[in-house]
Structure 1
Amino acid sequence: MQSFYSQWISLIGFNWTTWFVLASCAVLAWICWRNSRYVRLINAVPGPKGIPILGNLLELNVGQVGNRIVPKFLRIVHREWVEKHGPIYRGWGGSRSIVCISSPELMEPILASQKLITKGKEYSYLSRWLGACMFLTTGLRWRSRRRLLTPAFHFQILESFFDVFNDQSQQLIKELDAAAAAARPAASVDGSVNVYKILTQCALDIICDSSMGRQVRKREETSGYLHSINRITQIVMERSLRPWLDSDLLFNLSALGRENQRCVKILHDFTNQVIQDRKRMLNNNQSDSAADDADVKSQEESPKRRLAFLDLLIQASENGDKLSDDDIREEVDTFMFAGHDTTATAMSWFLYCIARNPEEQKLLLDEVDEVFEDSDRPCTPQDAANLKYLDCCIKETLRMYPSIPGVMRTITEDTEIGGYVLPAGLSVALLIYGMHRNPKVYPEPDAFKPERFLPEHSANRHPYAFIPFSAGPRNCIGQKYAQFELKVVLSWVLRKFEFSLSDPSCPAVSASSEIVLKPVDGIHLSVKRRQPTIAQQSPLKISTTTQQQQQQPN
């Protein structure tokens, strides 16, 4: 045994010649790589100075609050480096470089391109969960999936979802009422309610009901799902800041990798159950097709009538499009994630913005009262179109807090942008949050000014200056769905409640830069029931009524 160790040490541990040769080769390879055309083109772009091997990672070693990346990352990448280096800059993380862009003019060549549609390599970290879904794939597979799913978002189908939006909004009202009652000062230090948590559950119920054909009523059924989504998006961000975990082998062996696997299993189990439930319902409906319509329960009839997304995938698999159960699950996973997490975040930031800006909230309440006249009738597509100021406030919220703070693309061919040649294979980050907060694009970018989106103020704005749903051929396929959902749910909430900050002097809520721009510790607001009175009518109507009364003879 001793002889074996002696041989091993002599061959590996103390063969200085071998180690010297290996080290020399490594240094030589690094020098050759450092002087390659690829690196020289990237380094021609301005950016922060880095150190050998690690690049700029130490500056971005920002730590966490609980499980969330602290806001310093968002501030550095989207604002400080933009201010210092300009609307296009580069950064290094080990041997990996990313060029960041934060102006609409420089984003346009990428967003508008039919060729530069390949997602950034960083999205591959989601592949264990989302597989080769439309969101992650490219080329012919992406185009075929996009064509397959586009009919599910036709305007007439989206209109049929309004009944779900309205029904779930009324359930949300009950939950906000209960939370506000439980959080009164006698039971809570400041009497605030974490609206983010409640809105997240509401958004998940809506997506399951409207597009998956399955109402979710039991909270214990979804708690593990919501926790796993939150954690898996955080893991992606943590992994992207640790280049030694870029290797799938090393990542899978790490504690983060093992946690990621546990989360994926929970998410897949939940989605598989949604799909199987819907398949059973469709099979039951087919077997009962000969029965009289009066004998079919409306609860079973309604989801079939209004459902589009999941049914479309199931029908495609039955019509020879070769969609396996895994293919269906990948698309359902993607739509359930994107369809609830982004809208829940947008609604939460919206309520936070109007709580911080009571004058704008008053204008919103006046508009809602004018449209609905203190009634509890459902919000219709025509109502949604008439809520002009609400639309401006939603857009201003999405400008300040875009649900997706940035998107990544891989440059597949040498491309000139801003006078710099970006080589093929490079990752490019389109900083949506950074561009929306760029004072050269939006003066006073940290101020909540919904009037920015009035037609007279936005007509001459660059078409890529406001892209909360991305833009071009790879824009969000569900953006109309999200816009309708936001308008219906928020119009209901504004009919019933007023929102304020428990302590107006407290610092602004911090955002965590993950895949979705989430509040670090939720959104805690004071929630007060509105009392219906004639004073809540719009000033225009009150003025008109008063004039008519004065003109009448005594």
Structure 2
Amino acid sequence: MFLWLLAGFFLLIWIYLRRNYGKLEKCGMPVIPPFLCFGSGPWAMHKYQLAELDEKRVAKYGKVFGAYILSQPVVYLADADLIKQITTKDFESFHGHLFKFGDQKFRTLDIADGEEWKELRKGMSPIFTSGKIKGMLQYVNCTLDNMMEHLEKRVKEDPVIDLKPVFQKMTMDVIGKCAFGIEINCFKGNTDLLRLGNGVFDGFKVKNVMDAFFMNIFLGFSGIENYLDMVPPEMKELWKIFKNVENGRKVPNGDFIDKMAEMKKQVQNGELKHLSEDQITSQSIIFLIAGYETTASTLGALCYQLVKNTEVLEKLVAEIDEVLEKFDGKLDHETVAEMPYLEACIKETLRFSSPVSRNDRLCNKDFEYKGIKIPKGTSIGICNQVVHFDPEYWPEPYMFKPERFLKENAGSIVPCSWLPFGAGPRACIGERFAMIEMKMGTVRLLSKYKIEIDSTTRYNIDKGEVFMALYTDMFIKLTER
């Protein structure tokens, strides 16, 4: 009897896991065939770099293809026109994400959906106006002072420095001061928030077979988040920390904490009907997590590209020196606005080394475009890095050419072929702040130090990253100019 029950149980699982097979095959695109009831793979996700996997699949199946994660149908896109259609023109049909937490308390702007997302986006957008960003730059400069003081001591000990943790400390301190009005002081050894932030990212990294098993279960069983607690413990600890920061605020100063207090009053008054006060507190977490690592990673990747392309470095340093001389060494919004080559270098770095390998969407309404059909409930994987190296959009894609992003060449950039901040209404809300922070950090570094390649310099993307493209270290030789 027991064997019959066991056989029936496995038969039900077999039927359940195969329930969606065949749907994508009817949609006008090639599909990676599923194996038995286990999906299209790969199961050993810890052995792959996401961008490399996407590149191989696009080369074999084309710019639009389907696959199954267990039973979950997924359409992968590396076609800029279709990406534009989905993220912008038909946004209302793709405004959600497959990945989300069942507990509303931890649904942040990046994973919220529907009315929740709309209310969060509208409420948080005023933090990133030009006026607000300009007001933050004094704090950015103070933090950069601390970074430069730290580097001065380190260079005397050893000129070859791993810049990745240096940039992480800088960006973490910037967020602490600009968003929350607190002095984190990472350069003075207070790295608790940095540890927790790194722990959140580490929690979504697939390191072994067991991690791969649970990640496939998580991504393949739609709705499982409603029954299991998927929230990393580091996020819960961060929530408590920011709750204490909120409770400790006595005098308003116009930052993110004050904006959240305002939104909570709107919840109490019934103006924000789809949010909870606890959920608003959680927005501090995504502000911190999304803001420090991606910016720090890009700054390190920029240094790597510059030491590998010395002509670009020389041209950039010349621009920085000229503009700083014009402004008597003052560094602010107006100063960096007159450094177009600096912006172009950062954007070309983001094309080469986007911190996010793949964006996603969830189809919430049957969709058809140019013969491609996407059924409701299908997940969308947008292969950022593949698009960034497509010669159709970027001639000589493996050449580091910042000139692509100069104003005179703007007309040649295909819409939605540059995706480091996403696209459409769900594009990164903090893009402008991140760009100016990176510009100021680069100016401060290159105005004082000559940077050079070293035998230990490398750009090594970790395997097992499911969403990100984070590298191990960034050793660069610094010599005072």
TM-score (norm 1): 0.77
Q: Please, what is the CA RMSD of the aligned residues?
A: 2.8
Q: CA deviation at 1:93?
A: 2.2
Does residue 210 (structure 1) correspond to residue 195 (structure 2)? The answer is: no
The answer to whether structure 1 residue 474 and structure 2 residue 426 are counterparts is yes
- How far apart are residue 522 of structure 1 and its match? 1.4
For the pair 1:195 / 2:163, whether they are aligned, the reply is yes
Specify whether residues 441 and 28 from structure 1 end up closer, same or farther in structure 2 by C-alpha distance, changes over 3 A only. Answer: same
Letter matched to residue 131 of structure 1: F
- Once residues 142 and 181 of structure 2 are traced to their aligned partners in structure 1, the CA distance between those partners, rounded to angstroms, is 14
| Structure 2: runs of 5 or more not aligned | none
Matched, 1:384 2:336: yes
Aligned to 1:121: 98
Q: Find the partner of 1:489 among 420, 438, 441.
A: 441
Q: Does 1:359 align with 2:346?
A: no
CA distance in 2, matches of 1:201, 1:228: 13
Structure 1 distance, partners of 2:226, 2:123, is 34
Shift of 1:32: 6.1
Residue pair 1:130, 1:331 contacting (<8 A) in 2 also: no
For 1:443, the equivalent position in structure 2 comes to 395
Q: Is the 8 A contact 1:117 1:138 kept in 2?
A: no
Q: Which residue of 2 is the match for residue 527 of structure 1?
A: 478
**Separation (CA, whole Å) in 1 of partners of 2:295 and 2:51:** 20
Between the aligned partners of 1:41 and 1:419, the Cα distance in structure 2 is: 11
Instruction: Provide closer, same or farther for how the CA distance between residues 153 and 19 of structure 1 changes in structure 2, counting only shifts above 3 A.
Output: closer
Distance 1:477 1:56 in 2: 34
Superposed CA deviations along residues 48-75 of structure 1, whole A, max 9, x for unmatched, are 3442122332x45143xxxxxx653330
Displacement of 1:376 after TM fit?
7.4
Which of 250, 270, 276 in structure 2 is aligned with 1:280?
Answer: 250
1:110-259 superposed matches below 5 A: 110-112=86-88, 113-122=90-99, 124=100, 131-184=106-159, 192-217=160-185, 222-238=190-206, 242-245=215-218, 247-248=224-225
| Alpha-carbon distance between aligned partners in 2 of 1:440 and 1:210, rounded to the nearest angstrom | 40
Given candidates 44, 53, 60, the residue that maps to 1:76 is 53
Q: Tell me: CA distance 1:31–1:317, structure 2 relative to 1, closer, same or farther (3 Å).
A: closer
Aligned partners of 1:353 and 1:422: how far apart in 2?
39
Q: Which residue of 2 aligns with 1:344?
A: 296
3-state SS, counterpart of residue 215 of structure 1: coil
Is the contact between residue 103 and residue 226 of structure 2 (CA under 8 Å) also seen in structure 1?
A: no
Equivalence for 1:34: 21
> Matched residues in 2 for 1:50 and 1:21: separation?
22
Q: Offset of 1:417 from its aligned partner?
A: 3.8
Larger radius of gyration: 1
What whole-Å deviation, never above 9, does each CA across 1:254-299 have from its counterpart, x for those lacking one? xxx6xx643233322332233233x2344xxxxxxxxxxxxxxxxx
Checking the alignment, whether the CA contact within 8 Å between 1:368 and 1:495 is kept in structure 2 is yes
1:133 positional shift = 2.5
- Runs of 4+ in structure 1 off by over 4 angstroms are 18-33, 127-130, 218-222, 248-252, 321-325
Given residue 310 of structure 1, which amino acid in structure 2 is its aligned partner?
Answer: I
Larger mean Cα displacement after TM superposition, 192-201 or 318-327: 318-327
Moved more, 230-239 or 331-340: 230-239
Letter of the structure 1 residue corresponding to residue 377 of structure 2: G
Distance change in 2, residues 1:281/1:51 (3 Å): same
Structure 1: segments with no counterpart, 5+ residues: 1-10, 64-69, 185-191, 283-303, 531-554
Task: Tell me the distance in 2 between the aligned counterparts of 1:218 and 1:389.
Answer: 31
Structure 1 residue 128: Cα displacement:
5.9
Offset, 1:474: 1.1
Cα pair 2:301 2:459 within 8 Å, conserved: no
SS at match of 1:90: strand
Aligned amino acid, residue 406 of structure 1: R
Percent identity of equivalent pairs: 20
Q: Distance in 1 between matches of 2:265 and 2:155?
A: 48
1:100 equivalent in alignment to 2:76 = yes
Matched residues in 2 for 1:56 and 1:178: separation? 52
Q: Give 1:308's aligned residue.
A: 255
Could you tell me which of 32, 35, 45 is aligned with 2:29? 45
Structure 1 residue 269 corresponds to structure 2 residue 209: no
Q: Supply the distance in 2 between the matched residues of 1:26 and 1:324 (Cα, whole angstroms).
A: 36
User: Cα–Cα, structure 1 residues 346 and 383, in superposed 2: closer, same or farther, change >3 Å?
Assistant: same
Tell me the CA shift for residue 205 of structure 1. Answer: 0.6
The 3 A distance-change label for structure 1 pair 41 and 177 is farther
Moved more, 193-202 or 473-482: 473-482
Whole-angstrom distance in 1 between the partners of 2:31 and 2:155:
48
The SS at the match of 1:373 is helix
Q: Is the 8 A contact 1:404 1:516 kept in 2?
A: yes
CA contact 2:459–2:474 (8 Å) conserved in 1:
no
The CA deviation string for residues 93-127 of structure 1, in whole angstroms up to 9 with x for no partner, is 211232111121110111113403433222x15x6
Partner of 2:44: 61
Cα displacement (A) at 1:197? 0.3
Residue identity matched to 2:44: N
Aligned counterparts, 1:14-25, within 5 A? 16=4, 18-19=5-6
CA 46–218 in structure 1, closer or farther in 2 if over 3 Å, else same:
closer
Secondary structure at 2:124's aligned position in 1? helix
> Quick one: structure 1 residues 240 and 384, their matched pair in 2 at CA, closer, same or farther if it must change by over 3 Å?
farther
